[in-house]
Amino acid sequence: MDHARAGNGEFLMPGRWRSGAEGPAAMPPPVAILGLAALLAGCSAPNGPASGDSQAPVDMAVGTQAAAAAPASCGEALPDLGRVGESVRTQVRDRHAALPPRDERAGLPQELAAEAVGVMGMMFMAAWFTDEAEPCLREAAALAPDDVRWPYYLAQLYRDRGALDESAAFFEQVLRIQPEDPTTLFWLGDIRLEQGRPDEAEPLFAQALALFPSSLSARYGLARTALLEEDFRRAADLLEEILARNPEIGAVHYPLGMAYRGLGDDAKAEEHLRQRENAEIRPADPLMAALDSLLTTAGTYENSGLESLDRQEWPVAIAQFRQGLELDPDDPGLRHRLGTALFMTGDLDGAMAEFQRVVRTTPDYFPSHYSIGVLLQETGRHAEAVARFRTALRHRPGDDAVHLRMAISLRRAGDPESSLSYYELVLRTNPDALEARFGYAMALVQLGRYREAHDRLATAMDAFPRETSFAHALARLLAAAPDPTIRNGRRAMTLVEQVMDAEPEPTLDLGETMAMTLAEVGRFGEAAEVQRALIGAAELARLPDVVRRLRVNLQRYERGEPCRTPWPADAMP
């Protein structure tokens, strides 16, 4: 997602300074739960044009080097508008037509001239024409040296180019005009961290926190600073405080995991690293919000729609994405997000139609191929999902999210042998991928390789003691595997009891495992009693297929026979 509310007016953002860009998605959730992470995985809006070498400010109080030549005058010529939509072209042309020529600006009061060129620069910047924006903003800054807007936008422009020294110089100029601006303090601190200068970043974040005591972004900056300085205890304390103030902020999990790793607490490190998200906490930024709202574009509606998605206002998001598509009907990212919003309302057919339209008009658009595969997978159409995931991998080879989905669908389509290689690809780059570890073991079960499955589950259980799915699956193997060298009823009972203690609400699956274990240790009457209770619960839940499956084992227990099928083919986890 482009940004999520972090509380206190702040935002969670994975991009640098513009909304509309996304980073790679984390490992998708288990296939039984489909959310925005799966449908939006890998989706990104177009980036702005690449700029040339960064140029230091000229004729101003900041800058690290002198320019070889004066920059072009503001609005001297329009950029190539062919790559932007008609709405943007019209707005840029109209603003440019209203801009007084350079010789006329010389006769205007400085404040009026600064406003004219500054707003022109903002419009260029909003439309991603940063080369054309720069001379306008520099001219405005020279004409109105006490107006914080112009050096601030220049600082963000240079930051986006990666010209950190120049960006820092302009942020410092903003602070000379407005010393107590927490947003600027944050950004200058952020740049100092990127430059590897935590000693200079720390007082900036500390000042921002003193000015705005509820600031999560300032705490986040201080925590990142502490990590760079290897003060792991302070980093962990700050990040835990952020989580206590807003438990929904996923951006803290990765740095918090690294802090606990530095403290030697591997269990807590693993717990948080598994929840990592590709995002950061950043302050509310009124000036950049004003810039982003300057143009009425498809992207404007897209950003509003993404904010609505964050708030789970699905109908509002749908309306905003549709408005954006009226301005730019061929934008694949925008149409993909419309499909995502439709999915979240339960309109699977509508979502599928939008994703399919994207791949027809933009065949190499990876996210929609992936999302079609996810929808097919969720509706049990695994063979079709495999075909779609293969297409997605042609467009983005090596994507582990697709590898995992491919492995799951291959296994469920009846090809566990082929699934193993895809699970291995995921585990090669992410050994802690729980879904891949579990799925690999289940594929081995499907192949009848019970000893290997047993060993993998036992290893995973030891590595991830808080993840009960490994202990549960191992208990079922120990209770019902066809291989007598695997079975161990007493150990199975110990594991089942441990899992039941850890699960606040035992599931039908766990009850079924308990019945299998009771039968394995010869307590057939108790096994039958548990099984009858499970059948009653399944009947109340109107699960006829589950009822039929449970009755098969009930008949075994009533005959005094144990179960020798850990999972029927149609009930593999």
Which residues have a Cβ under 8 Å from the Cβ of 384 and sit 6 or more positions away? 376
Q: Report if residue 443 sits inside a domain.
A: no
Bigger pLDDT: 340 or 65? 340
pLDDT over threshold 80, residue 527: yes
Q: Which of 283, 307, 326 is the last residue of a domain?
A: 283
- Indicate the range of 84-93, 477-486, 537-546 predicted with least confidence: 84-93
Are 53 and 161 contacting, i.e. CB atoms less than 8 angstroms apart?
A: no
Q: Which of 283, 304, 332 is the last residue of a domain?
A: 283
Structure tokens at 356: 């399919």
Structure tokens at 254: 């990765």
* 152-189 pLDDT per residue, tens: 999 999 999 999 999 999 999 999 999 999 999 999 99
How many DSSP H helices and E strands does the chain contain?
Answer: 29, 3
Q: Report if residue 322 sits inside a domain.
A: no
pLDDT over threshold 50, residue 19: no
Q: How far apart are CA 467 and CA 461, in angstroms?
A: 7
pTM: 0.62
The Cβ-side half-sphere exposure at 73, using a 13 Å CA radius, reads: 13
pLDDT over threshold 50, residue 17: no
- Indicate the range of 58-62, 192-196, 473-477, 558-562 predicted with least confidence: 58-62
* 275-326 pLDDT per residue, tens: 887 778 999 999 998 998 888 878 888 988 998 998 899 999 999 999 999 8
Q: Report if residue 495 sits inside a domain.
A: yes
Q: Which of 283, 305, 321 is the last residue of a domain?
A: 283
Reference 236, options 263, 216, 214; nearest CA is: 263
Range 2-23 average pLDDT: 32
Are 502 and 468 contacting, i.e. CB atoms less than 8 angstroms apart?
A: yes
Amino acid at position 137, single letter: L
Question: How many structural domains comprise the chain?
Answer: 2
Number of Cβ atoms within 10 Å of the Cβ of 507: 13
Range 197-220 average pLDDT: 97
Q: Report if residue 192 sits inside a domain.
A: yes
Q: What is the pLDDT of residue 39?
A: 52
- Indicate the range of 76-85, 148-157, 435-444, 518-527 predicted with least confidence: 76-85
Q: How far apart are CA 258 and CA 177, in angstroms?
A: 38
3 state SS for 463-506: HCCCCHHHHHHHHHHHHHCCCCCCCCHHHHHHHHHHHHHHCCCC
Which residues have a Cβ under 8 Å from the Cβ of 199 and sit 6 or more positions away? 229
Are 496 and 475 contacting, i.e. CB atoms less than 8 angstroms apart?
A: yes
Q: What is the pLDDT of residue 7?
A: 38
Reference 164, options 198, 132, 196, 124; nearest CA is: 196
* 57-94 pLDDT per residue, tens: 333 334 333 333 334 789 888 999 988 878 888 999 99
Q: Tell me the pLDDT band of 20, cut-offs 50, 70 and 90.
A: very low
Question: 228: domain CATH number?
Answer: 1.25.40.10
pLDDT over threshold 60, residue 247: yes
Structure tokens at 29: 């959730």
Alpha-carbon torsion (300, 302, 304, 310), positive or negative: negative
Range 245-272 average pLDDT: 92
Q: Report if residue 120 sits inside a domain.
A: no
Structure tokens at 491: 């150990």
- CA distances for 512 relative to 212, 464, 478, angstroms: 54, 23, 14
* 39-48 pLDDT per residue, tens: 554 443 333 3
Task: Give the residue numbers spanning the domain of 459.
Answer: 452-571
Q: Report if residue 463 sits inside a domain.
A: yes
Above pLDDT 70, what percent of the chain? 88
Q: Report if residue 197 sits inside a domain.
A: yes
The per-residue pLDDT of the chain, averaged, comes to 87
Q: Report if residue 199 sits inside a domain.
A: yes
